[in-house]
Amino acid sequence: MERGDVPYLLNGAFRRLAYVSFGNPDNPPVICVHGLTRNGRDFDVLAQALSDAYFVICPDLPGRGASDWLPEGGLYQPASYVVALGHLLAAIGRPVVWIGTSLGGMCGMALAATEGSPIRQLVLNDVGPFIPRAALARIRDYMALGDPPGFADLAEVEAYLRRVHAPFGPMTDADWAHMARHSSRAGADGLLRLHYDPAIAEPIRASEPADTDLWALWPAIKAPVLVIRGAESDLLLAETVEQMEVSRAESYVVPGVGHAPSLTDEATIARIRRFIV
């Protein structure tokens, strides 16, 4: 695993988008982009599995992980993430496979729909062109609670993550421990805190949840699509997947999982590998 970063211009200043990469840089590139409060290390298992044949790049979205925090909470919007990720695509300079979980998949759809997009295949993990209001309300209510004041140790971090991300899966004890290790940072007071800027919640708290309809983007996406759904997901509905299938998408359902599949089990990794070959 190697660490790196690319600069991107946003709101009149250059900022830094950090990433970790796996595999030989000469191999075909795969970009893995995480969800709302997560970071690029969520993809370590998948990235290691694909690194024999691909160069896998896992960025931290702005305000998460090792990437720069933004000066205003209002900047934490999908448009800002697309700008940062567009710079990453430009730096790579080659056609890529895009694997995006939730927010990462929304960014992938936006970039894949642009003229001249370098995205040659798109894997959408538990997200599609329609997101129901009820799921967004659940996310807003969770974000409105605010972050815990701090954790004494990684065991407390893990217990918190197991509670708030209970629908994730399938997850082993080792997966949860890995998530806790990479989801926390040391505060000045010696306590551990979640590894993102708390201000990422500001736009979500300020908005009234409503159905998000991105179907207008869908016809512009020319890349082949694989959509992965957690069988119990409230964010990606079964009927949305059916509509995506009608317009050429392939689908795969992970049983016993909500939002979102962790992409760590052998069966899901094998399905992704078959699609991107």
| Residue 269, pLDDT score | 98
* Strands lying side by side in the sheet with 29-33: 2-10, 13-22, 55-59, 29-33, 96-101, 119-125, 225-230, 250-254
Can you give the pLDDT at residue 142?
83
- SS3 of residue 106 by DSSP: helix
Q: Where are the alpha helices (DSSP H) in 207-259?
A: 238-246
Considering its fold, how many domains does the chain have in total? 1
Bridge partners for 13 per DSSP: 10
Mean pLDDT, 10 residues at a time, the chain of 277 residues: 98 98 98 98 98 98 98 97 98 98 98 98 98 94 82 96 94 96 94 95 90 95 98 98 95 97 98 97
Give the CATH number, domain containing residue 254: 3.40.50.1820
Residue labelled with tokens 């990794």: 269
SS3 sequence, 163-204? HHCCCCECCCHHHHHHHHHHCEEECCCCCEEECECHHHHHHH
Whether residue 74 lies inside any domain: the answer is yes
> Would residue 258 count as lying in a domain?
yes
200 domain-assigned: no
- The residue range of the domain holding 272 is 2-131+213-276
Task: Report if residue 234 sits inside a domain.
Answer: yes
Q: Is residue 152 part of a domain?
A: no
Residue 44 lies in a domain: yes
* pLDDT of the residue at 60: 98
pLDDT score recorded for residue 200:
96
Residue 137 lies in a domain: no
Distance CA(118)–CA(277), nearest Å, equals 17
Q: What is the pLDDT of residue 145?
A: 75
Phi and psi angles of residue 115, each rounded to the nearest 5 degrees, phi first:
-65, 130
